[in-house]
Each structure stands twice: as C-alpha cells, then as structure tokens.
C-alpha cells in the first residue's frame, strides 16, 4: 500500500465512525458480517520461535561462514578508521614541525620580538633592506 491508499482508508474509516449512529441496522449487520468474514480469512500469526540460549561453547558456530561475512564488513571499516587516525597524527606532527621551524626562525632572527607587533615594522624592514643593499653597491 502506498500513502495515497492509506490516506483513503483513514478518510473512509473516519467518515464511517462519524456517521456510525446514522447508519441503518441492515448496513451495520452487513459490515459486521464482512468484518467477521475478513477475520476468518486472515492468516494466522506465525508463532514466534525463541532461540535457545546455549550454555556451552558451540564449536560449529566458530567454523560457520557467518562470522566471515560479518568480519568482511567490519574489517574495512576498522582499517579506514585506523587510516584516518594515522593521517590525522601525521598531519598534526607536520604542523608542529612547521610551527617549531617558524618559532626557531623568529627567535634566532636579529629582530626584537616586539618588532612583529609594532605598526612601523614595515618601515624597519625597509631600512634593513636599504642598509644591506648599500654595502653591496659600494663594492
């Protein structure tokens, strides 16, 4: 049944319930007979079979192929998760190494640390470049 059929059934049921008191006795008798016939033709519910709990270790289940199918689904997922963790660790180490290299370059530079926060830093850099270029021109 699709949703349109279900909606139609709900509308019919609602209309019948609203006008139940107004229906003639012959109609209610026919509806009751139709319901009884439908219930008589209904398939019996299948009995629920409970799995027996095994108290001992089942060696046959160990060699069944069902665990192989489950492992075939779980193993790639675990490998993918491990790979993602490995890539994350590698990227984290690379970033830490780059930051350490940058920190070492800043600390070993001739510039004072306050120069990086100074607004006149560009002017200082321009002065340093001019000072380096003047001795080269003189030679």
For the chain, helix, strand, coil in percent to 5 are 75, 0, 25
Tell me the pLDDT tens digit for each residue of 47-84: 666 555 555 566 666 666 777 778 888 899 999 999 99
* CA neighbor of 61 nearest in space, from 52, 48, 49: 52
Q: pTM of whole model > 0.85? A: no
Whether the predicted pLDDT of 85 surpasses 60: yes
The pLDDT of residue 8 is: 86
Tokens 């289940």 belong to which residue?
A: 61
Confidence grade of residue 94 (pLDDT, cut at 50, 70, 90):
very high
Structure tokens at 46: 């299948």
What's the rounded mean pLDDT across residues 3-28? 82
Share of the chain above pLDDT 70, in %: 82
Structure tokens at 8: 């139609």
DSSP 96: H
DSSP 65: T
The pLDDT of residue 60 is: 62
The pLDDT of residue 137 is: 64
Average per-residue pLDDT for the chain: 80
Structure tokens at 79: 């490998």
């Amino acid at each position: 049944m699709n949703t349109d059929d279900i909606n139609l059934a709900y509308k019919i049921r609602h209309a019948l319930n609203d006008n139940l008191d107004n229906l003639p006795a012959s109609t209610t008798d026919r509806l009751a007979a139709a319901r009884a016939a439908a219930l008589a033709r209904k398939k019996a519910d299948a009995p629920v079979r409970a799995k027996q709990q095994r108290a001992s270790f089942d060696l046959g289940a160990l060699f069944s192929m069902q665990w192989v199918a489950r492992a075939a689904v779980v193993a790639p997922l675990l490998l993918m998760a491990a790979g993602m963790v490995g890539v994350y660790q590698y990227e984290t180490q690379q970033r830490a190494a780059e930051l350490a290299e940058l920190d070492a370059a800043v600390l070993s530079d001739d510039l004072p640390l306050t120069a990086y926060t100074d607004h006149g830093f560009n002017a200082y850099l321009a002065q340093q470049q001019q000072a380096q270029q003047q001795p080269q021109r003189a030679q």
